[in-house]
Amino acid sequence: MKLNKRLNKYSVPEELLFIAELDKEYSAKYKYDRLLGANINFEDYRYFDTPLDVIPFGSTGGDGIHFGFLTDYSKCESLDNAYIVCVSPMDFDKPISLLSRNIREFLGLWIAVGDPSFMDYFKYCSSEDQFNDSLKDHEKDLHERSLKLEPYFNIVRNKYRIEPITNVYQYLLTVQQNRYDEVVLTTQDGIGVVSYSTNSCNHTSYKITRDGRYNLNEISEFLSSCSIESKLALIRDLQLNYVLNDEFKLKEMIYRELLKDNFVDEASNLLREL
């Protein structure tokens, strides 16, 4: 099957298309194994907690775990420069992880570790030692697979001049800090919201929890007067706390708000989540 070279309005990065072609050779040679530890798939599948502005590109096949490009509600001009996230639908407390600043650095993690989904473990680590100890155990478990991957690492390194990330923990820490510095509003999923407007209006937050208690009229009033950034932060928190799954009227309201601000793809994604 020939892979689509576009994801919604975006072109698929050349490096990922190349990996997808290499994966065909690798998976034919090593059955039941994939080059990235994930099936590269450009069909638009998503789960209830896949952020609306994330475009998935690979699924590990276990517990719905998948990788995707963070488009920042279409503000990202090219997927070459989009953050890569990992979504773990069954990890109800912390389903979202920021893995890398772009696809090239994501492949640098792959070359360094062999299995990019391991990076999701970072969010639970309280220290560098804890992470590195787990990484060493992980590498022992994957030693045989790493030997199979080595020739493919070399192909990618030589073609795109991509080198392995030398200190994975410090790199992931830097990714979190860079993102924190970019956002104007933090959100419960750890992604946050970047600036959209040029005015200096104050951004406010509407607190959402998983206890199911919220006031539809209050949310409607909040949405009618808040900044775009505040609106998008609210949507992130609503989705993380599964509120949108339970209340049709609220989901319909958010859908209309997205369309009103011309977030057409994201509005469509709201209706497609599993």
| 116 pLDDT tier (thresholds 50, 70, 90) | confident
Same domain as 165, residue 41 = yes
What's the pLDDT at 10? 92
Which residue range is the domain that position 236 belongs to?
183-274
Final residue belonging to a domain, choices 145, 165, 181: 181
The fraction of the chain above a pLDDT of 70, given in percent, is 95
What's the pLDDT at 173? 94
Final residue belonging to a domain, choices 154, 181, 208: 181
User: Is position 17 within any domain?
Assistant: yes
Average pLDDT of the segment spanning 106-133: 88
Give the closest residue to 184 by CA, choosing from 159, 204, 166, 170: 204
The fraction of the chain above a pLDDT of 90, given in percent, is 58
Residue pair 92/110 in contact by the 8 Å Cβ criterion: no
Same domain as 100, residue 15 = yes
Same domain as 244, residue 176 = no
Residue pair 21/109 in contact by the 8 Å Cβ criterion: no
| Average pLDDT of the chain to the nearest whole number | 89
Tell me how far apart the alpha carbons of residues 197 and 226 are, in angstroms, rounded to a whole number: 12
Residue pair 64/138 in contact by the 8 Å Cβ criterion: no
User: Is position 226 within any domain?
Assistant: yes
Same domain as 137, residue 71 = yes
Same domain as 166, residue 78 = yes
Which one is predicted more confidently, 119 or 174?
Answer: 174
Same domain as 168, residue 220 = no
**pLDDT tens digit string along 212-242?**
567 889 999 999 999 999 999 999 999 888 8
Same domain as 139, residue 61 = yes
Same domain as 153, residue 94 = yes
pTM across the whole model: 0.93
| 207 pLDDT tier (thresholds 50, 70, 90) | confident
Same domain as 19, residue 132 = yes
| 199 pLDDT tier (thresholds 50, 70, 90) | low
| 1 pLDDT tier (thresholds 50, 70, 90) | very low
**pLDDT tens digit string along 9-67?**
899 999 999 999 999 999 999 888 889 888 888 877 788 889 999 999 988 878 788 99
Tally the domains of the chain. 2
Tell me how far apart the alpha carbons of residues 187 and 234 are, in angstroms, rounded to a whole number: 8
Same domain as 117, residue 48 = yes
Tell me how far apart the alpha carbons of residues 89 and 165 are, in angstroms, rounded to a whole number: 27
Final residue belonging to a domain, choices 160, 181, 202: 181
What's the pLDDT at 102? 97
User: Is position 1 within any domain?
Assistant: no
| 171 pLDDT tier (thresholds 50, 70, 90) | very high
Which one is predicted more confidently, 152 or 49?
Answer: 152
Same domain as 67, residue 42 = yes
